[in-house]
Amino acid sequence: MRKGPLYWILFILIADCSAHAAGDENRIPALIPAPNKIEIHNGHFAITSRTVLLAEGEALPAARLLNHWLGLSGLDTLPIRSVSSPRTPFVAFSINSDTAEAYSLRIKPGSITLSGSVSGLLRGTSTLFQLLVSASGGKIPCLGIQDQPKFAYRGVHLDVCRHFMPKEFVLRYIDILALHKMNTFHWHLTEDQGWRIEIRRYPELTRKGAWRQGSMIGPYRDQRFDSIPHGGFYTQEEIREVVRYAQDRGITVIPEIEMPGHAMAALAAYPQYSCTGRVTEVARGWGVFDDVFCVNDSTFAFLEGVLTEVMELFPSRYIHIGGDECPKTRWKECPKCQATMKANGLRDEHELQSHFIRRIERFLNGAGRQIIGWDEILEGGLAPNATVMSWRGTEGGIAAARDSHQVVMTPGSHCYFDHYQGERNTEPLAIGGYTPLEKVYAYRPIPAELNANEARYIVGAQANVWTEYMYDTKQVEYMLLPRLCAFSEVLWTDTSLHNLNDFYSRLTPYQQVLKGWGLNYSTTWLLPDYRIEPGTRPGTLMFSLQSKVPQQLESAWGTPDTKPVFSSYTGPIALESNGTLYIRSNTSGTVKTQSFEFEFSKAAGATVTLEPEGDKAYRNPGSVLTDARIGSLPWTGKQWVGWLGKEPTITLDLGRSVRIDSVAITYLHDPVSWIHAPRACTASVDTRETRVETGIPANGIGRIVIPVDESIDKLFITVESIGKNPEGNAGAGEDGWIFISEIQVY
């Protein structure tokens, strides 16, 4: 039996009389994401062995979820009682008619009341759980929270194909999502490197397609492989369990079945659906492969069979059909594909891709579902009802929103959690990029280019976790957390309430919540920010630190001949000779050490002008070229300047006249990543020019040394590129990159 509102009001009033004086529990608790409205009152609720959870009917899943999470933290669960048997102290879960995911939470000295719709209660449970586990001495401050999400779509993706993740971990992942009030789990189930979902009609998909005979080891540019079979798949029973588990946490699971590209595993199992009929092996390396689904009726019949079983397993409105990175190479030469183009009056292979997606959309729409796909589904014309996931930047999302299509923003720059979250020498191998915690926190899903009407089509955003370089579940946790904490606040909390320093100050204690579940979260963000600036004299540098949270800092200087001895960091450090600077931070017992190697030349601290500036993610200030630090591998976003399809001119102003005999330019040569050594560099002093060709570069970091026997105060360096990526190389015929990390003069 449900009690009426009067009953509750009376009950709460009585309970209120036992209020105690407030202590330091008056502080705003460390909740993530921050609630949209919170008021802290005097007094506290004390959890004791007598505390009960009052819940019945539709409110039961929330109460059970709270207990499940308490159990995961190694804490005692609380008995669940029916609403008709209240006694203090209690935590009541109450269904109301609020919209969607809104909830309210009232904490009084003798009672806690959480109200909301079914999904609202689940979101509120995350708040309540965070309060319970961080309650000091079992005391939770009295407060009132009124909360609702900023964005309707709050997603996290997981690639279980590059590295298979066991079902138990997928369940844990869903708990992590729910803890952060996310509502969508995008399960990337098929790829070149493995097919992970049992399809009863086509048993070869998992018998053969779920296994590869080896994997790429180390960085992509090394192209090294082991021969250890890797694989695994989820049975239909396991998939049903995952979907139910997610439902109980208010999370929709969207399955992704990749087509027409990224299909090597399916084609190895059923080569008859490739253009050549000759695909034999599940891919071992990462990348984009020319073999894709052949566009003809038998392929459609096959895929419709697959999707029919997928729809039986997943009740989601959306089915993700991939659509990304589909080379047109095979289609151009395939008689079957060319016949499909002719029969349908299609002018080129982009229209064939569009035809493919539209046909799949018709099938899924006919079954009452909607398609969602990566932004390449815009190529050749968007399918009429499709939702677009904008990953190659924001352009695809902008175009789709202007075309009145729903959009989920997931640009690589901010939402790809496979990117590095710190500098290379602090981090395990990752795919590349540089997306530290503060960059995620600064993300705004609505592109500034959209007007208010167009912006309505941006339903939310998603973080993607591609696992090429995540070999196990611990590594996934490390890459996900705490970036998901920042991301959840981006999507849940109104932008007017965002404050990076406040977020940092909540994240420090919040780590205990993550620790309670035994999660392998990253603490890289605790490293202090550093600046390297010109020193007081030309040719010297000044190194300074700035903490994000209260912490002790120490520094030490080491050379091959001197051992580092740490002492307290008290302010900027002057640097003028080669060696290694060590920085040690201690944040409430979490100790981290960083090292910075310096290789000085007369150019250290020189003013650098770049014409043009670097491109996109590699547009760093010119000062990184004279900070006496040679870039490391794989490149991260901070140490290198990169130019795409351009030939930069670099101007060095040494600030005084200096006698020199040479200039050294440090570059990167990494052809598989479309980065090529310059063809040559020219140093110009007044009207005298000296040009030096690179010759045949080795892979990795290289140097061009130009003899310049002059007294100079200014120097111009022009960098010549080799032009487009050469034939036989990755991205042949497309613009390539030039990467420079340091200019030195001797």
Give the number of other CB atoms < 10 A from CB of residue 147: 24
With binding defined as CB under 5 A, does residue 625 bind Zn ion?
A: no
Name the site residues for ligand ACM (rule: CB under 6 A).
324-325, 374, 391
724 binds, among Zn ion, ligand ACM, none (CB under 5 to 8 A by kind): none
- In whole angstroms, the minimum distance from the beta carbon of 371 to ligand ACM comes to 15
Of 191-199, 239-247, 336-344, 412-420: span binding Zn ion (CB under 5 A): 336-344
Cis check: omega of the bond before 678, within 30 degrees of 0: no
* Contacts to Zn ion from residues 168-227, by CB under 5 A: none
- In whole angstroms, the minimum distance from the beta carbon of 214 to ligand ACM comes to 22
275 or 663, CB closer to Zn ion? 275
Q: What angle do CA 39, 40, 43 make, to 5 degrees?
A: 145
- In whole angstroms, the minimum distance from the beta carbon of 417 to ligand ACM comes to 12
The tokens describing 279, both together, are 């695909």
- In whole angstroms, the minimum distance from the beta carbon of 435 to Zn ion comes to 37
143 or 326, CB closer to ligand ACM? 326
Beta strand ranges found along 395-490 (DSSP E) = 407-409, 458-463
With binding defined as CB under 5 A, does residue 337 bind Zn ion?
A: yes
CA distances from 328 to 220, 288, 337, 349, 571 (A): 23, 11, 10, 6, 57
23 or 287, CB closer to ligand ACM? 287
Q: Which residues touch 448 (CB under 8 Å, ≥6 apart)?
A: none
* Contacts to Zn ion from residues 245-284, by CB under 5 A: 275
336 binds, among Zn ion, ligand ACM, none (CB under 5 to 8 A by kind): Zn ion
462 or 551, CB closer to ligand ACM? 462
239 binds, among ligand ACM, Zn ion, none (CB under 5 to 8 A by kind): none
Amino acid present at 449 = E
Q: What CA–CA distance (Å, rounded) separates 542 from 567?
A: 18
Q: What CA–CA distance (Å, rounded) separates 514 from 306?
A: 38
337 binds, among Zn ion, ligand ACM, none (CB under 5 to 8 A by kind): Zn ion
Is 455 in a helix, a strand, or coil? Answer: helix
647 binds, among Zn ion, ligand ACM, none (CB under 5 to 8 A by kind): none
- In whole angstroms, the minimum distance from the beta carbon of 374 to ligand ACM comes to 4
Cis check: omega of the bond before 534, within 30 degrees of 0: no
Q: What CA–CA distance (Å, rounded) separates 128 from 174?
A: 18
With binding defined as CB under 5 A, does residue 326 bind Zn ion?
A: no
Q: What CA–CA distance (Å, rounded) separates 712 from 394?
A: 45
With binding defined as CB under 5 A, does residue 332 bind Zn ion?
A: no
65 or 337, CB closer to Zn ion? 337
136 or 344, CB closer to Zn ion? 344
374 binds, among Zn ion, ligand ACM, none (CB under 5 to 8 A by kind): ligand ACM
Q: How many helices and strands in the chain, by DSSP H and E?
A: 18, 35
Q: Which residues pair with 608 in a beta bridge?
A: 652
131 binds, among ligand ACM, Zn ion, none (CB under 5 to 8 A by kind): none
337 or 675, CB closer to Zn ion? 337
98 binds, among ligand ACM, Zn ion, none (CB under 5 to 8 A by kind): none
334 binds, among Zn ion, ligand ACM, none (CB under 5 to 8 A by kind): Zn ion
Q: What CA–CA distance (Å, rounded) separates 71 from 616?
A: 46
**Cα torsion angle, 247, 161, 201, 358, sign:** positive
296 or 729, CB closer to Zn ion? 296
CA distances from 282 to 226, 276, 286, 322, 578 (A): 14, 15, 11, 18, 49
With binding defined as CB under 5 A, does residue 336 bind Zn ion?
A: yes
Would you list the DSSP string of 259-277? ESSS-HHHHHH-GGGBSSS
- In whole angstroms, the minimum distance from the beta carbon of 290 to Zn ion comes to 11
47 or 189, CB closer to ligand ACM? 189
> What residues make contact with Zn ion under the rule CB under 5 A?
275, 294, 334, 336-337
